[in-house]
């Protein structure tokens, strides 16, 4: 565990130095504050408190932003070092490939977590001060932060996978963008299309819920929008449309499964690479 | 002061063990080693053994497979067939991890994470190798980077990067140094210092493999020379072994009174190739095994010889002989 920690510390320091952390925190805080104060304008009609609404808005924001930040951190982790020649030297050291991945992962996850905690924490503190919040809201906020970090972990690993497969940095970047579009945008559109076409309910609600959970981004949505009443009220998911919504814990497990299997794939693929 | 600093990079047992040459370095054995990518064969059936403490120069044109050989020795890629053994272990195996601490590697065109300073970079590598961080400052001093230690590596010149690369390679107490084109970008003075450092490691019985294009600077610095040509090991041996194998002539240069030159040509023109080199100098070329006999005859022929210079091992000629493909097997 010593080697991954050394590598993680280096990644984290790099993140601090090249303003990666600062940029991510600024982005998340700025956007969440915007969402929080714009989102709390129509308070009173939905039955949620200020923070409840904010958490619902933030979870929608997270689905887009967290995977994006994670992929930007991770897409060149391997191919970038291979291209610059630093990978060759690093692997001649007593550093195995899984330790290298573990180290980068820990470092990047620390960067991402810091940005999420500070960004969302700041916005939530501001909203709670102005509009008040219940204990339930705070629990929802904690769950949002925790699941956002898990979502980040999934996309970090997916980014490393792209980075291990691609032979050039530009290719890895392209693959990462494609992955983001597919999982965050296109998948939902396709599901929506299926729902609209499938008027006779050939696909049962259960199958649909399963399809939803198969995508880590949607699993994240499901977890955050169904877990707490105050959130699901404002998100409109508690209505009759989602009578068999997947269990939030199943959604969490699906995300964890994504992270672990992506991590295993990275190690397998990277093990076959020529530095 | 300089002596104190030298001690830090010189392994401790230099003066203590008379058998350092046998005991300290790692042994390397390549057996019928081949590596091919898709259809291209990069290494073809290379077998060679490097004894502990030997300094071996790996010579060959660009693309001959030198770097691939290094990657195979470091276990960074797996052979397509044949085997690599370092200290009896397969370098691509898990068990090799602990041996890596004892290997110093300087890649060709070494590159670092540009945002870090020289000190941070070296400390990072020291941590990975489990070397005390207090070793770093003296090492930076040894390679002449003290003044630049707190500057970002981005601002370093080619030579400075190369020196930082050398510093990380000799971190800790390596038992094997693998240096891929280590002197590129170094000016003559730095080259000299570099070879001084290298000699101190060689004397300590550390196995050294060094690849280079600059043949003249490696001449007489390595124990053995391996010449690689398009993936083949074209030749492997000491300079004199290679010389005998090639059958290339020994050059004997005489300096004598100008009016004696014709006399020498008359006397030796039949038994060997004689080329006047002007200003009372004359070159005689003869096969290696007739060298001693020829020198004796010159000394006994009654002509006053002012100077005699025997150039028996010309790495340049040997290299050209093999690398031009005349003798590829």
- The string of DSSP letters for B123-139 reads HHHHHHHT--GGGHHHH
**Chain A residues near residue B94 by CB distance under 8 angstroms:** 96
Q: How many domains is chain B partitioned into structurally? A: 2
Geometric angle at alpha carbon A44, from A38 and A46, rounded to 5°: 85
Establish if B329 belongs to a structural domain: no
Does B98 contact A at CB distance below 8 Å?
Answer: yes
**10-residue averages of pLDDT along chain B (329 residues):** 38 41 77 88 91 90 87 92 91 88 90 88 94 92 89 89 91 91 83 86 90 78 88 86 79 79 77 78 80 80 79 76 59
B214 lies in the same domain as B116: yes
Q: Are B169 and B101 in contact (CB under 8 A)?
A: no
Is A93 in contact with B129 (Cβ distance < 8 A)?
Answer: yes
Shortest CA gap B40–chain A (Å): 15
Closest residue in chain A to residue B67, using alpha carbons only:
A88
Q: Do B105 and A96 touch (CB under 8 A)?
A: no
- What integer pLDDT is reported at residue B199 of this predicted model? 87
Q: Structural domain tally of chain A?
A: 1
Query: Is residue A223 within 8 Å of A147, Cβ to Cβ?
Result: yes
Residues B54 and B155 in one domain: yes
| Residue A236 φ/ψ region, left for φ over 0, alpha for ψ in the -120 to 50 degree band, beta for the rest | left
**Residues sharing a CB contact under 8 Å with residue B97, sequence separation 6 or more, in sequence order:** A94, A96
ipTM above threshold 0.90: no
Q: What pLDDT, in 10s, does the model give residues A15-62?
A: 888 787 888 888 888 888 887 777 555 544 444 557 777 888 888 888
One domain, residues B179 and B255:
no
- Residue that has been written with the tokens 């096969």 in this structure: B287
The minimal CB distance from A14 to the residues B100, B115, B127 is found for: B115
Note whether residue B76 is domain-resident.
Answer: yes
- Read off the pTM: 0.83
Residue B223 shares a structural domain with residue B305: no
Backbone angles phi, psi at B178, to 5 degrees: -115, 115
Higher pLDDT, A193 or A5: A5
> Rounded to whole angstroms, how far apart are CA atoms A34 and A29?
8
In terms of residue numbers, what domain contains B132?
2-243
Q: How far is CA B102 from the centre of its chain?
A: 19
User: Do the chains contact at B100 and A10, CB–CB below 8 Å?
Assistant: no
Q: What is the CATH number of the domain that holds B70?
A: 3.40.50.300
Is B328 part of a structural domain of the chain? Answer: no
- Indicate yes or no: CB of A94 within 8 angstroms of CB of B94: no
**pLDDT computed for residue A42 by the predictor:** 53
Same domain, B255 and B133: no
Q: Which residues of B touch A19 (CB under 8 A)?
A: none
Query: Residue B12 has what pLDDT?
Result: 43
**How many Cβ pairs within 8 Å bridge chains A and B?**
59
Q: How far apart are CA A16 and CA A25, in angstroms?
A: 11
Asked if B124 and A274 come within 8 Å (Cβ–Cβ), the reply is no
Task: Give A253-258 contacts, CB < 8 A, sequence gap 24+.
Answer: A254/A213, A254/A214, A254/A216, A254/A219, A255/A147, A255/A150, A255/A151, A255/A154, A255/A216, A255/A219, A255/A220, A255/A223, A256/A150, A258/A154, A258/A157, A258/A158, A258/A216, A258/A219
Q: Give the residue carrying structure tokens 């080199």.
A: B277
Where does the pLDDT of residue A173 fall: very low under 50, low under 70, confident under 90, or very high at 90 and above? Answer: very high
Is B158 an 8 Å CB contact of chain A?
Answer: no
B99 & B6 share domain: yes
* Residues B184, B277 share a domain: no
Does B319 map to a domain? no
* Of the residues B194, B215, B243, the one at which a domain ends: B243
Residue A78: give the domain boundaries: 2-271
| Structural domain includes residue B188 | yes
d(C-alpha B93, C-alpha B75), whole Å: 8
**Cβ pair B34, B80 in contact under 8 A:** yes
Choosing from B223, B243, B263, the residue where a domain stops is B243
Check residue A195 and give its pLDDT: 78
Same structural domain for residues B13 and B108?
yes
Whether B306 is in a domain gets the answer yes
Indicate the residue among B243, B261, B291 that finishes a domain. B243
């Amino acid at each position: 565990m010593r080697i991954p920690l050394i590598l993680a510390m280096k990644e984290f320091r790099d993140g601090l130095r090249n303003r990666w952390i600062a940029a991510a925190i600024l982005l998340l805080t700025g956007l969440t504050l915007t969402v929080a104060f714009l989102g709390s304008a129509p308070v009173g009609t939905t039955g949620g408190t200020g923070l409840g609404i904010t958490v619902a808005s933030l979870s929608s924001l997270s689905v887009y932003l967290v995977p994006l930040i994670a992929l930007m951190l991770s897409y060149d982790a391997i191919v970038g070092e291979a291209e610059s020649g630093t990978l060759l030297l690093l692997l001649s050291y007593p550093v195995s490939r899984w330790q290298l991945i573990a180290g980068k992962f820990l470092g990047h996850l620390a960067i991402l977590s810091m940005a999420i905690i500070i960004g969302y924490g700041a916005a939530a503190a501001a909203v709670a001060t102005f509009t008040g919040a219940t204990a339930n809201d705070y629990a929802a906020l904690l769950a949002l932060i925790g699941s956002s970090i898990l979502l980040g972990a999934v996309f970090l690993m997916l980014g490393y996978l792209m980075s291990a497969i691609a032979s050039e940095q530009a290719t890895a970047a392209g693959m990462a963008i494609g992955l983001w579009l597919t999982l965050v945008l296109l998948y939902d559109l396709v599901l929506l299309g299926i729902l609209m076409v499938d008027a006779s309910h050939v696909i049962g609600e259960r199958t649909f819920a399963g399809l939803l959970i198969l995508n880590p981004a949607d699993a994240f949505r499901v977890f955050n929008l169904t877990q707490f009443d105050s959130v699901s009220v404002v998100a409109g998911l508690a209505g009759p449309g989602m009578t068999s919504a997947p269990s939030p814990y199943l959604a969490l497990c699906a995300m964890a499964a994504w992270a672990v299997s992506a991590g295993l794939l990275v190690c397998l693929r990277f093990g076959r690479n020529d530095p | 002061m300089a002596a104190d600093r030298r001690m830090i990079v010189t392994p401790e047992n230099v003066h203590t063990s008379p058998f350092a040459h046998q005991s300290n370095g790692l042994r390397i054995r390549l057996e019928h080693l081949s590596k091919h990518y898709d259809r291209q064969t990069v290494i073809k059936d290379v077998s060679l053994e490097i004894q502990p403490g030997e300094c071996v120069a790996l010579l060959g044109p660009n693309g001959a497979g030198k770097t691939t050989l290094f990657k195979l020795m470091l276990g960074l890629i797996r052979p397509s067939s044949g085997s690599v053994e370092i200290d009896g272990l397969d370098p691509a195996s898990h068990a090799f991890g602990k041996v890596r601490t004892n290997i110093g590697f300087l890649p060709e065109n070494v590159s670092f994470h540009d945002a870090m300073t020289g000190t941070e970079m070296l400390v990072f590598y020291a941590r990975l190798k489990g070397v005390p961080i207090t070793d770093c400052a003296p090492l930076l001093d040894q390679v002449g980077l003290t003044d630049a230690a707190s500057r970002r590596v981005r601002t370093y010149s080619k030579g400075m990067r190369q020196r930082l690369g050398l510093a990380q390679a000799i971190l800790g107490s390596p038992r094997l140094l693998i240096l891929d084109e280590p002197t590129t970008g170094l000016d003559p003075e730095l080259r000299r210092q570099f070879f001084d450092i290298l000699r101190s490691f060689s004397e300590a019985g550390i196995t050294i493999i060094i690849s280079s294009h600059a043949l003249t600077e490696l001449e007489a610095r390595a124990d053995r020379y391996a010449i690689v040509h398009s993936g083949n090991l074209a030749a492997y041996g000491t300079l004199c072994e290679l010389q005998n194998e090639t059958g290339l002539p020994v050059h004997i240069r005489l300096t004598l009174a100008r009016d004696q030159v014709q006399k020498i040509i008359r006397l030796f023109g039949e038994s060997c190739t004689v080329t006047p080199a002007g200003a009372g100098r004359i070159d005689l070329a003869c096969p290696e095994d007739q060298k001693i006999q020829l020198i004796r005859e010159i000394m006994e022929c009654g002509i006053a010889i002012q100077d005699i210079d025997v150039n028996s091992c010309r790495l340049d000629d040997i290299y050209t002989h093999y690398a031009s493909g005349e003798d590829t097997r």
